[in-house]
């Protein structure tokens, strides 16, 4: 399946000069959604205990992957959105800064973790998530994305971690 036909460019969103990769055409097509889920799953080649999904579009595929892997799902959310005790990490992204949080009891020491998000851009978000996982004692074995924006060099911030994606731009 040609997944790129289901991704549309939205210029100047969320701010001028940014070309946003919109995955909602893929999500509304049941066949494309199923095939993308299967393809993301097929890229995982290590045992996984937890799948961490990044707020908010990482929540779409991460629970599906967790279910297929017989693993737990862990949400990483923007600051102030999780109700229990959290760890936090701040980061820069291509159009600003933000803070992410994870529940302190969501990952146990030594657990093997897959980090999933929709897009790897500058790497700030994914790097912050990996730091949170490792702070809790988890081992990030793979970072999985629907899309990588290679021209923004986000891979460099992930310090040699295994990175997989369905599409690269």
The answer to the question of residue 36 being in a domain is no
> Measuring CA to CA, which residue among 138, 160, 127, 125 is closest to residue 51?
138
Q: What pLDDT shows up at residue 97?
A: 84
Tell me how far apart the alpha carbons of residues 76 and 106 are, in angstroms, rounded to a whole number. Answer: 10
Tell me how far apart the alpha carbons of residues 163 and 167 are, in angstroms, rounded to a whole number. Answer: 12
The CATH number of the domain holding residue 78 is 3.40.50.2020
What pLDDT digit, counting tens, does each position of 17-43 carry? 989 999 999 999 999 999 999 999 999
What pLDDT digit, counting tens, does each position of 59-108 carry? 999 999 999 999 999 999 999 999 999 999 998 766 668 999 999 999 99
- Examine the residue annotation and report whether 8 is marked as an active-site residue of this protein: no
State yes or no: pLDDT of 1 exceeds 90: no
The answer to the question of residue 126 being in a domain is yes
Q: What pLDDT shows up at residue 27?
A: 97
Q: Which of 4, 35, 87, 94 is catalytic?
A: 94
Q: What pLDDT shows up at residue 73?
A: 98
Domain holding 58, by residue range, is 46-168
Is 46 or 1 the better-scoring residue by pLDDT? 46
- Examine the residue annotation and report whether 161 is marked as an active-site residue of this protein: no
State yes or no: pLDDT of 58 exceeds 90: yes
The answer to the question of residue 30 being in a domain is no
126 near 120, Cβ under 8 Å?
A: yes
What pLDDT digit, counting tens, does each position of 127-158 carry? 999 999 999 999 999 999 999 999 999 999 99
Task: Record the pTM.
Answer: 0.94
Q: What pLDDT shows up at residue 25?
A: 98
Q: What pLDDT shows up at residue 93?
A: 64
Tell me how far apart the alpha carbons of residues 148 and 122 are, in angstroms, rounded to a whole number. Answer: 9
The answer to the question of residue 100 being in a domain is yes
The answer to the question of residue 10 being in a domain is no
61 near 146, Cβ under 8 Å?
A: yes
The answer to the question of residue 84 being in a domain is yes
The answer to the question of residue 144 being in a domain is yes
Q: Which of 57, 87, 155, 161 is catalytic?
A: 57
Structurally, how many domains does the chain consist of?
A: 1
The answer to the question of residue 106 being in a domain is yes
């Amino acid at each position: 399946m040609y997944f790129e036909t289901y991704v549309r460019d939205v210029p100047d969103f969320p701010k001028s000069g940014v070309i946003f990769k919109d995955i909602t055409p893929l999500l509304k097509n049941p066949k494309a959604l199923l095939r993308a889920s299967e393809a993301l799953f097929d890229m995982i080649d290590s045992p996984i205990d937890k799948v961490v999904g990044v707020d908010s579009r990482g929540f779409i595929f991460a629970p599906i992957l967790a279910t297929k892997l017989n693993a737990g799902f862990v949400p990483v959310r923007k600051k102030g959105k999780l109700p229990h005790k959290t760890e936090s990490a701040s980061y820069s992204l291509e159009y600003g800064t933000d803070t992410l949080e994870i529940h302190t009891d969501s990952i146990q020491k030594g657990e093997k973790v897959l980090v999933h998000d929709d897009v790897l851009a500058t790497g700030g978000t994914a790097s912050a998530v990996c730091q949170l996982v490792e702070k809790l004692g988890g081992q990030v074995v793979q970072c999985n994305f629907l899309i990588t924006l290679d021209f923004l060099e986000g891979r460099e911030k992930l310090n040699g971690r295994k990175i997989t994606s369905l599409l690269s731009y």
